[in-house]
Amino acid sequence: MKVAGKHFRTIWPDPETDGKIVIIDQRRLPHEFVTKTLVTAEDAFVAIRGMLVRGAGLIGVTAAYGMYLAALNARSSTIHKDMTAAGERLKSARPTAQNLAWAVDRVLATVKNIKDPDDVRQAAFAVASQMANEDARYCRQIGQHGRLLIGDIWQKKGKKRVNILTHCNAGWLAFVDYGSATAPIYAARDAGIELHVWVDETRPWNQGARLTCWEFQQEGIAHTLITDNAGGHLMQEGLVDMVIVGSDRTTHTGDVANKIGTYLKALAAKDNNIPFYVALPSSSFDWKLDKGKEIPIEERSGDEITTIAGLSKDGTIESVRITAANTLTRNYGFDVTPARLVTALITERGVVEAERSAIHAMYPDQASALGQFKRQGKVMAHGEKRKFDRWDSSHLLNYIILDEDGTRGRYAMARTLDVSLNGIRMESVEALASEGMIEVTLGVEEDLIDLIGRITFCKPEGDRFVSGVEFIKMSAEGRRVFRRYAEVFKRQATEGIK
């Protein structure tokens, strides 16, 4: 996103020198824009623990680059051992964000069977960079899905300004680019939807006041800073149309850990009948924990509550104490919002109910690894759960059906019957085409590809519908992804699904 009109990511390899990773020191924002260079895994650990970098997505990608730096600095003879040790240390930097362990494990799994130390270093760098790109792409996709939800409210309000409330910073500073909770806001703005955001200050670290407001200023998003306690009152006054927050960890059953105070916003939203959305990439799902109660909640130093930092009159950043000396404190960093209070999750694959079988249906690859998907035999289509016959997950496509002006849509799933570069034939549990719904954007495997198709026919067959989709627009990336999908599909059709 933009800083003083120039595009930045939150982390990047130094273009001048190999083996250096550059980050933005977020402790100094919004008063100073300062970058720092990481050269060792320990630097990455310190940056995560000290919150120079923060937010689930960015913590994960910093850890991934930290693993690359561990490989780079390791002796060739002990490279795997050294990386494992660095991974343990990085994982201990902060407890709540799921992305941290996920990123470390993904780098370790990538290099596990590579023998040549130089190849290990190269592979670690490649996978860390891939994770950075993926993080940015997933947030952009979250934006496309979330934009439809904002567009829906905008239509219902007769195209009057949509008021969104957000807590903490799940913006681009918490990821590599775009942000999770903020991506739908940027995408809706780009689609011409008028909106305004209420930003919770988010004591004690003030991520909302310091970071989210700064991001919005840079991007020209209309916003107003409020105290953490004001949200409920604004909701009662009819000044909030929807809430969108991020997540540091979400169980595969839909319970959401996010910055402390999120739970209270969800309760207030429920009481006022206001939709409460959580935006997260799949890297923040915990596929092992069944209950939000089991998520480790970070406790931080009480100094964060007893003091406050800001810009002094002479232009330096200063910290002052706001309590009597020796005041006792407990400083919890996160809380858990139970799934029942969450209207839906916005992921890179689409909008999904915060509920086990719906989440599993959207991520059959993860769910089948858990051995739970087949047993449950359910898939969410348009908010309902019905049955498909076969469970070959690679043939399940996500798609969004858009209306004519592209501002409304819905998520559903279909099974691929036949595929070519010109079009696709698919089977779904509900009719795809109806009045006003003419286009389909398809997501293949984990990529949402810019691919627009026109439904050419949709006919009932038994309790299913078989539809033909003719592609009418495809980006170069979309073509590449789809060609790969077509190849995989053909191979599996000939060899049979394992």
Residues recognised as catalytic:
248
Q: Do residues 198 and 163 touch, judged by C-beta distance below 8 A?
A: yes
Q: Judged by CB, which is closer to ligand MRU: 121, or 145?
A: 145
Hey, what are 246's tokens? 């991020």
Q: How far apart are CA 325 and CA 177, in angstroms?
A: 41
Q: Which of 44, 55, 98, 183 binds ligand MRU (CB under 6 A)?
A: 55
CA angle 384–256–351, rounded 5-degree value: 35
Q: Is the dihedral of CA 9, 39, 82, 50 positive or negative?
A: negative
Q: Which x/- pattern, by CB under 6 A, does the window 73-112 give for ligand MRU?
A: ----------------------------------------
Q: How far apart are CA 459 and CA 431, in angstroms?
A: 8
Q: Judged by CB, which is closer to ligand MRU: 241, or 335?
A: 335
The residue count for binding ligand MRU (CB under 6 A) is 17
Q: Which of 62, 258, 282, 398 binds ligand MRU (CB under 6 A)?
A: 258
Q: How far apart are CA 356 and CA 372, in angstroms?
A: 10
Q: Which of 66, 246, 254, 453 binds ligand MRU (CB under 6 A)?
A: 246
CB of 170 to ligand MRU, least distance (A): 4
Hey, what are 234's tokens? 């604004």
DSSP-derived 3-state class of residue 399: strand
Hey, what are 281's tokens? 């990439």
CA angle 41–9–73, rounded 5-degree value: 20
Burial category of 430 from C-beta neighbours within 10 Å (exposed 0-12, middle 13-18, buried 19 and up):
middle
Element at 335 (helix H, strand E): strand 334-337
Which residues, other chains included, contact 494 with Cβ-Cβ below 8 Å and sequence gap of 6+?
none
Q: Which of 69, 170, 452, 455 binds ligand MRU (CB under 6 A)?
A: 170
Q: Does 265 bind ligand MRU (CB under 6 A)?
A: no
Q: Judged by CB, which is closer to ligand MRU: 246, or 409?
A: 246
CB of 348 to ligand MRU, least distance (A): 14
Count of beta carbons in the 10 Å neighbourhood of residue 467: 22
Q: Do residues 69 and 43 touch, judged by C-beta distance below 8 A?
A: yes
Count of beta carbons in the 10 Å neighbourhood of residue 419: 22
Q: Does 177 bind ligand MRU (CB under 6 A)?
A: no
Q: Does 231 bind ligand MRU (CB under 6 A)?
A: no
Q: Judged by CB, which is closer to ligand MRU: 57, or 66?
A: 57
From 64-72, 242-250, 322-330, 456-464, give the range in contact with ligand MRU by CB under 6 A: 242-250
Q: Does 56 bind ligand MRU (CB under 6 A)?
A: yes
Q: Judged by CB, which is closer to ligand MRU: 60, or 350?
A: 60
Q: Judged by CB, which is closer to ligand MRU: 248, or 348?
A: 248
From 162-170, 214-222, 423-431, 477-485, give the range in contact with ligand MRU by CB under 6 A: 162-170
Q: Does 10 bind ligand MRU (CB under 6 A)?
A: no
Q: Does 41 bind ligand MRU (CB under 6 A)?
A: no
Q: Does 174 bind ligand MRU (CB under 6 A)?
A: yes
Comparing C-alpha atoms, which of 222, 230, 213, 236 is closest to residue 161? 222
Q: Does 360 bind ligand MRU (CB under 6 A)?
A: no
Q: Does 149 bind ligand MRU (CB under 6 A)?
A: no
Give me the amino acid identity at 229: N
Of 280-339, binders to ligand MRU (CB under 6 A) are 333
Q: Does 353 bind ligand MRU (CB under 6 A)?
A: no
Q: Does 143 bind ligand MRU (CB under 6 A)?
A: no
Q: Is the dihedral of CA 397, 402, 406, 411 positive or negative?
A: negative
CB of 18 to ligand MRU, least distance (A): 29
Q: Does 62 bind ligand MRU (CB under 6 A)?
A: no
Comparing C-alpha atoms, which of 423, 481, 416 is closest to residue 452? 423
CB of 484 to ligand MRU, least distance (A): 30
Of 375-394, binders to ligand MRU (CB under 6 A) are none
285-286 and 249-251 strand pairing: parallel
Q: Judged by CB, which is closer to ligand MRU: 89, or 300?
A: 300
User: Could you tell me which residues are beta bridge partners of residue 307?
Assistant: 321
Residues binding ligand MRU (CB under 6 A): 54-57, 168-170, 174, 180, 207, 245-248, 258-259, 333
